[in-house]
């Protein structure tokens, strides 16, 4: 039975298939809702999960939005300029302006593969290598709860959550 495709066409399709497979195998996995250790958010960049945005704003404020309504913030707006949010390999989430830290989750520990994730329940959580939560915004909605594992250096989310959670802002018309 004769093929309707020519040899050059078959070769081209085969090369495209191999190139696609190779790119899938060599590209590191990344998600729009996650910040891995060593990664950062520049001003104007966000993590996204449905209608939730976790945004490093131009004014140096880190804000969690639910349908464009702020539900949590670091309160660092106007305290510096050109800020960058970094998920460090020691588990600490830090906002830097140059080399100066202007806010931190105070979750620094030993070096590891920590990650921050904007979850489907609206909570933003830092997890350690063992998938234990070490910090959270406490903004989850629904029945989900995050248990924070305290560390020997006393770091946990309770003080950060209490300091940084903001009341939902409603615009009056």
Which segment of 114-123, 139-148, 153-162 scores lowest on mean pLDDT?
153-162
Residues 99-130 as b/e (b if ≥16 CB within 10 A, e otherwise) read: eeeebbbbbbbeeeebbbbbbebbbbbbbbee
Burial of 14 (0-12, 13-18, 19+ CB in 10 A): exposed
The band of 116, judged by pLDDT with boundaries at 50, 70 and 90, is very high
Higher pLDDT, 66 or 164: 66
Q: Please give the pLDDT value at position 17.
A: 52
Span 67-89, mean pLDDT? Answer: 97
| Residues sharing a CB contact under 8 Å with residue 21, sequence separation 6 or more, in sequence order | none
Span 79-98, mean pLDDT? Answer: 97
Higher pLDDT, 96 or 159: 96
Higher pLDDT, 119 or 162: 119
pLDDT digits over 3-30, tens only? Answer: 566 766 665 555 455 444 443 333 333 4
Q: Please give the pLDDT value at position 126.
A: 98
pTM for this predicted structure: 0.69
The band of 142, judged by pLDDT with boundaries at 50, 70 and 90, is confident
């Amino acid at each position: 039975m004769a093929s309707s495709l020519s040899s050059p066409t078959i070769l081209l399709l085969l090369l495209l298939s191999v190139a696609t497979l190779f790119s899938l195998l060599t590209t590191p996995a990344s998600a729009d809702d996650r910040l891995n250790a060593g990664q950062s958010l520049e001003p104007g960049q966000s993590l996204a999960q449905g209608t939730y945005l976790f945004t490093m704003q131009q004014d140096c404020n880190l804000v969690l939005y639910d349908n464009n309504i702020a539900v949590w913030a670091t309160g660092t707006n106007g305290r510096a300029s050109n800020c960058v949010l970094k998920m460090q390999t020691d588990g600490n989430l830090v906002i830097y302006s140059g080399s100066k830290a202007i806010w931190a989750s105070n979750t620094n520990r030993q070096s590891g593969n920590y990650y921050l994730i904007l979850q489907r329940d609206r909570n933003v959580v830092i997890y350690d290598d063992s998938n234990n939560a070490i910090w959270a915004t406490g903004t989850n909605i629904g029945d989900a709860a995050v248990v924070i594992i305290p560390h020997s250096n006393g770091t946990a989310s309770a003080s950060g959550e209490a300091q940084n959670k903001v009341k939902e802002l409603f615009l009056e018309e």
